[in-house]
Amino acid sequence: MMKPLMLKVFADELGAELDWRQRAIAVASHNGDAQHVEAAQSILKKEDWGLMQTPLDVPLVQFGRQVRRPRRWFHTCSGEHAALLRGCQLKGWEEVGYLLPQHPFFAAYLKEIRRFLGDDWRPLRVARDGCGLPTLSNTVAELAQLYAGLAQHKEEDWIWEAMQRHPDLVGGFNRLDSTVLKSGRGSVLAKEGADGLLGLAIDHPDYPKGLGIVVKIAHGWNSQATWYLARALLGVLGIELRNPYALHRQKAFLVPGIVPQQYLSTLEKIPTWDEWDPDTERYDFDWKQYL
């Protein structure tokens, strides 16, 4: 979900080098279809493909998961990684180590985040994302503030327009963010994130400074539940989102007061997430020195 903000680090350099399809795949979490792989590969010279360090993966679409061997280019973040490497080349930064918080990219990315959250903002944690890049801990409110900034400053670079021009490169077939981009007709930037996140940056006359909305599904990724929520949130703003999922058996309702008032104080004391796996996600050095 942070890709549109990460790519702001290289907006000037890549804007002068990439075409609109390459720009769109740079901020994508794509399905790994042929069009996605082709667009991602086109960003780098073939001799530089070996520098890209996305994990091995297979396409997200079911047929692809059954018949394809794992490849780095099938990974949902391959376009972003290719663009980051190309950006490093254009800035004269070392390509090796671009995944680490001591790389110049991380400091520049942190500077972009502080544009919207304040110069003194510090993450409580930094850990490896599933694709290997450093991930900052953010509250849902902070994420919404960042997405409001994307709407407010949508004219400052190519990121908003690229996602509107090629929404099916951003996600793909039957993906919520691609559908929202098409339904919004240029007024909404939508981006899905891992573990049940959806970010919406909305250009709306009722919110002249930009509106940021973030949906977080507590139990993790669930496109059906997220689609219900997005349809309601966008609907009240006059943006009609088609719901492709049939409502049968249990129905989805958006109602206040899910947790009774007398239980709210107890709820605040219950930990809602576990610590990460120290063998796979924790850095073996003090990341705080790079903030």
pLDDT by residue (tens digit) across 227-273? 888 888 888 888 888 776 665 555 555 556 656 677 777 767 765 45
Q: Are 137 and 125 in contact (CB under 8 A)?
A: yes
How far is the C-alpha of 238 from the C-alpha of 242, rounded, in Å? 13
Residue 266: count of CB within 10 angstroms of its CB = 9
pLDDT for position 222: 82
How far is the C-alpha of 194 from the C-alpha of 196, rounded, in Å? 6
* Pairing, β 126-128 against β 207-216: unpaired
pLDDT for position 225: 82
pLDDT for position 63: 60
- What is the dihedral sign for C-alpha 15, 18, 21, 25? negative
pLDDT for position 259: 61
Q: Is 204 helix (H, G, I), strand (E, B) or coil?
A: strand
How far is the C-alpha of 212 from the C-alpha of 203, rounded, in Å? 9
Residue 275: count of CB within 10 angstroms of its CB = 9
How far is the C-alpha of 165 from the C-alpha of 247, rounded, in Å? 31
Ranges of the chain whose pLDDT falls below 50 = 272
Q: Identify the burial level of 209 via C-beta atoms within 10 angstroms of its C-beta, where 0-12 means exposed, 13-18 middle and 19 or more buried.
A: exposed
pLDDT for position 234: 87
pLDDT for position 83: 98
pLDDT for position 92: 98
Q: Where are the domains of the chain?
A: 3-242
Tokens of 121: 């903002």
Q: What is the pTM of this model?
A: 0.87
Identify the residue whose tokens are 């219950």: 270
pLDDT for position 255: 58
Residue 252: count of CB within 10 angstroms of its CB = 14
